[in-house]
Structure 1
Amino acid sequence: MSLSKSITNRRAAPGLALIVVAALGLAGCSQEKAEVKEIIRPVKVVEIAKASDTRQLSYSGSVRARTEMNLGFRINGKITERLVDIGDRVKPGDVLARIDPTDYELSVRSAQASLDAADRQVETVELTRKRAEQLYAKNFAPKSQLEQATLSYNQAVATRDSARSQLAQAQNQVRYTDLKADKNGIVTAVAADVGQVVGSGTPVVTVAIDGEKEVLIAVPETDIAEFKPGKTVKAGFWSDEALTLDGKVREVAGSADPQSRTFAVRVSLPNDPRVLLGMTASIEAAAGNRQQLVSIPLSALAQKDSQSIVWTVDRNGGTVHAHPVKVAAFTPDGVSVADGLKPGDVVVAAGTQFMTENLKVKLTGDAAQQSASADDDAARRLR
């Protein structure tokens, strides 16, 4: 029995060895196939379009009245009443504020008394002059007496005229104790209140005059050459995205603000009831490109060794390569590139963190469709 089992084991050994060898061979082939298989990563790409010859400038500002009046009293005094608040509409003749008129009313009484005394003086010297004329006509008085009487009369008349002017001035000052509006408008600011003593000319109320409105923007010196009086611009409003008006540059400051180093530019707006004072507006103007810039999505920009790069796709080889670029500016739509890309280049638009040099990729997105169309056209021509 033991002999037969031994013979059986010897016969089975070669077969077992063959099975093991075959299994190892199959495992080696599978491993080799796994090593040979390439990784092809699908990527979203965009194709660089032709650079635009123009660029859009955008600056924010606030809507204001073209004319604003800082109204103040023409005399000194203590404010006793303020009759308007911010937002009130006013018309010519409306009283905005008052100051204490007591002292000025006393001045009127004093001027009136002076005028009355001057009138009496004129009457007295007029009688003297007439008497001197009669005596001189009858040769009862010398001519010098007549001349003296005439001179006294003229002086009295002059004094009366002066007193009359002083009375009118005092009466005007009483009227000036009421601060009145000159034109139709809306109160936009109040700078003084009841109980405050103000000097002549001190602003008390600011009134925005009805009529033309404008937007005041601050433009840096790099772009101020693009704004000239009469230039047409677009005005948009944050409160209503659908509201867009054509405006015109009305005025450009001749010098920069010493603090901000920007130039004040005023843009006139057409009359539209939807535009209210104080609204935030965005002014957009077209300007020529000093250099050809191409635009890419922000997600396409990457960093490598402190250098801004993008990953460009070689259409023939289907591989990606790091490409250094020079960034000009960041815009709401993406990134403006000044150097490093040209129209027709295909750039990886997303997933740049997974890219490596010479990585095989499969295109997706608009550029992939354009590439497929180009391949189809080439195939048709070969047929």
Structure 2
Amino acid sequence: MSWPGRAAAMALLATLLAACGSEQPPQAEGRPVGVVTVEAGQFSDDIQLSGEIQAKKDVGLAFRIGGRVLERPVNVGDRVKAGQVIARLEPALEQNALAAAQAALTAARGEVGTARNSFERQERLMAQGFTTRPRFDQALRAQETAQAQLENAEAQLELARDRLGFTELRTDVAGVVTERRIEPGEVVQPGQVVVQIARDDGRDAVFNVPAAVLDNHLADARIRVVLADAREVSAQGTVREVAPQADPVTRTFEVRVGLQDPPEAMRLGSTVIGRIELTTAAIVAIPASALTQQGRAPAVWIVDPDKSTVSLRSVDVLRFDPGKVILSQGLEPGEIIVSAGIQALHPGQRVTRLPERRPSPRQQAAASALPP
């Protein structure tokens, strides 16, 4: 081969070698893994308790005076109206006292008239100089005494009338009689409760709640109350009162839930079930398949979105639920973690992310729906 032909062949070979050197070797494919994007949410814990319907306020009615019960025209379960007679005492003593007070008032009025006439006569004589000063002063004091006795007699008459009126026990509230404590013929003392009335101005659902539940934000919880034998009958309520001391036997605390517009079917004494939804602050829930270990500590694989490599990070587990793990810390919203294919991964390994599988709108609605 001539020298020009040999030079051309060498130039062509050099060009081919240069072209081959400029090509980059193909990058290896990453390990296919399933991934999820971390999202923050609120964790709801539902607690169901059994209780009963009670009146928001109970009123115990009692006589202001003592005596023998003549009649009690109401029984347990009767509905009463404001002003209705609940019981009566024998009024003979009070009637006699009223008659005596009326007689004393009549006598006091006569004494006042006599004393006034005597004073007026002494006053005229004093002006004419025909009487002494002591007699005038005596007539004045007699008139003042008679007037005071008249006022006392009037007060005694009013007191006697009141005591006669107290022989009838009337209710000043509307409601239902829940308890009777006396029977006709019994002698009662002043202030002794005769009947108990549940007022009509509200109803409570009363539950015995363990102390562990009280540690949560129970006052802010949403409470749904349903009848135990008719779950379709329901009402919403909020915590109105929590007992400051535990029951000595059950070691539970009485919690009264004020019901908002309770239906008529929720009668006093009905057994109800209260569903308390306790909501925590923002937390992170991940699929249970994403959890692995770093030594003895729980951990997850974090995907670097720029380099498509993985790294292992320790997390703190709040609780385990079927199919998911609730974390208290360790992940931030927006981070990408491996949820499938965590076996045989190692730090810095390149991965290929498979498309995320998100729940359908129907599944999301079903997950967020509150059970009855």
CA distance in 2, matches of 1:196, 1:230: 49
- Aligned residue number for residue 82 of structure 1: 72
1:257-336 to 2 correspondence within 5 Å?
257-271=247-261, 272-287=263-278
8 Å contact 2:222–2:277 — kept in the other structure?
no
- Out of 225-234 and 53-62, give the one that drifted further: 225-234
Please tell me the residue identity of whatever aligns with 2:199: I
Q: Could you tell me which of 92, 101, 104 is aligned with 2:94? A: 104
Q: Which residue of 1 aligns with 2:196?
A: 206
CA–CA distance in structure 1, aligned partners of residues 118 and 220 of structure 2: 73
Instruction: Quote the residue 1:236 is aligned against.
Output: 226
Task: Provide structure 2 residue ranges, at least 5 long, that are not aligned to the other structure.
Answer: 1-41, 286-317, 326-339, 341-353, 356-372
Q: Paired residue for 2:172?
A: 182
Do 1:235 and 1:247's aligned partners in 2 also have CA atoms closer than 8 Å? yes
Query: 1:339: how far off?
Result: 8.0
1:54 to 34, 44, 47: 44
- 1:247 paired residue number: 237
CA contact (8 A) 1:236 1:282 kept: yes
* C-alpha contact 1:239 1:279 (8 A) present in aligned 2: no
Deviation of 1:265 (Å) = 1.5
Choose from 212, 218, 228 the match for 1:222: 212
Q: Deviations over 1:32-77 (max 9, x none)?
A: xxxxxxxxxxxxxxxxxxxx93321222221112121111111111
Aligned partner of 1:287: which letter? L
What is the Cα deviation at residue 228 of structure 1?
Answer: 4.7
**1:297-341, Cα deviation, whole Å (9 max, x unpaired):** xxxxxxxxxxxxxxxxxxxxxxxxxxxxxxxxxxxxxxxxx9898
Give the Å deviation of 1:241: 0.9
More strand by proportion, 1 or 2? 2
Percent identity over the alignment?
A: 31
C-alpha distance in structure 1 between counterparts of 2:129 and 2:63, whole Å: 61
Residue aligned with 1:57, SS: strand
Distance in 2 (CA, whole Å) between partners of 1:215 and 1:274 is 13
- Segments of structure 1 that go 5 or more residues without pairing to the other structure are 1-51, 295-337, 346-370, 372-379
Q: In structure 2, do the counterparts of structure 1 residues 270 and 131 end up closer, same or farther at CA, with 3 Å as the change threshold?
A: same
Alpha-carbon distance change, 118 to 283 in structure 1, aligned in 2, over 3 angstroms: same
What is the correspondence of 1:131-150 to structure 2 with a 5 Å cutoff?
131-150=121-140
Tell me the amino acid that sits aligned with residue 148 of structure 2: A
Alignment partner, residue 119 of structure 2 = 129
Instruction: Verify: 1:113 aligned to 2:103, yes or no.
Output: yes
CA–CA separation in structure 2 for the residues paired with 1:197 and 1:116: 33
**Aligned-pair distance for 1:258?**
4.0
1:141 is displaced (CA, Å) by 2.1
Contact 2:203–2:259, Cα closer than 8 Å, also in 1: yes
Which whole-Å CA distance do the structure 1 matches of 2:219 and 2:129 have between them?
82
CA deviation vs aligned residue, 1:160-179 (integer Å, no higher than 9, x gap): 11111111111111111111
Contact 1:78-1:195 within 8 A present in 2 as well: yes
CA RMSD of aligned residues (A): 3.4
Pick which of 97-106 and 271-280 moved more: 271-280
Equivalenced residue count is 259
**Hey, what's the Cα distance between the residues in 2 that align with 1:260 and 1:170?**
51
Distance 2:322 2:207 in 1: 35
Structure 2 match to 1:18: none
Displacement after TM superposition at 1:217 (Å): 1.6
Alignment pair present for 1:193 and 2:183: yes
Distance in 1, matches of 2:73 and 2:138, equals 57
Aligned partner of residue 258 in structure 2, secondary structure: strand
CA distance in 2: counterparts of 1:216 and 1:152, whole angstroms: 67
SS in structure 2 of the partner of residue 282 of structure 1: strand
Q: Secondary structure at the match of 1:182?
A: coil
